[in-house]
Structure 1
């Protein structure tokens, strides 16, 4: 919690400095605007909704590089893929680091082949046990890693898709160092809790990252901002041009359920 609190204070300082100059934060770091970024779409809470398919089609979510649901909803995976006309190779399963070795191994073995990845099949402190899972899919992790050293260890133990979170990384400079290192060693898919800062620094890393967009949570995360980051028809998001992180905040806020 202390790391997150310190990060929040630093991000507030970045916002203030950029607004004093009437420029977006990325302009303090680079002359060039960050490139557009593709998204991977997280559907937690939407897997069994009656209007799921039509909602996701209208939101262009199905154009996303990868679509992700929770491991507890794996029985819905084939139904969702069939209903949306998408291949299983564009779907991922998130275990949310909630399972022990035996349960995770059992669940992994019943998944179909060819998924984009399985995410956090074990808790971060058990990363050294990943080989015992005998996973047939690429393994993604990183939202609960906080240093270059932890990511290096994860890579050595079989993680090939890296998901650092700018909000959990101990400040913008530290996140940039982590992101620059990871983008040279594997697929780079930052965690969506830090979507806005990740967009601002997307041009600094070796390869433009693919960012998580949580279709169940992102509206709540952005509720305080007048301007919103929303994927376009090609499931791409663009860095803001408003001063600071995302311009001005709303004078009144409607609380979302």
Structure 2
């Protein structure tokens, strides 16, 4: 059996090393996998779905390439085609698989009953968010018992630094990474973002009026692991109502205590001077 030809060896050597750049091909590129991931990532940002023609155009791939990948992904239940519009959408399968991951599953097993009890006590909805690339992903939610309430759906994603959950999560990542996160929100003042990150790191939380929903105040607390890293953020979008038995100052220690309980479950031991 002969070894690889000079042309083959040259082709291997000319490929980029892993991590050489956002668009670079890796040393051990697998074209079919790359196409599938490109398609999944594209559909993840398209709430109204896309046709095969639109997918091929946006990914700058041929229809033949995209068709074969789409057929396989649809057969595995990762994407689905709407018959009337012929548009493809992501299914919930990837979300389901992510929740089978042991650390996430352990956290949710503990968080969900605690959040239901918390929502009943404070008469407010609450949700749990984790970082997902440049966004936050809502992985659990407990709804307020009151007829009128505000909640955030499980499975939705928001640009990280446009939410209090995201600010708390990013603040507890290494400082060297803050600049990369802030680069994703060029429209917001850099100095103000820096101040919010500093404050969230010092306090382990952020409280501020929601920039998205008038009349709602976000209370977000870090859920930290044994390293002190924030692996999740427990957030209450506080909606003031005349019928409430618990006001905002009363809700605040409830959320802080719940986040502390989850952190202790993950092995976090707060320092003596912790907030």
> Same fold judged by TM-score > 0.5?
no
Greater relative contact order: 1 or 2 (C-alpha under 8 angstroms, separation 6 or more)? 1
Report the TM-score when normalising by structure 1. Answer: 0.23
Report the TM-score when normalising by structure 2. Answer: 0.22
- Higher gyration radius (CA): 2
> Which structure shows the higher strand fraction?
2
> Which structure shows the higher helix fraction?
2
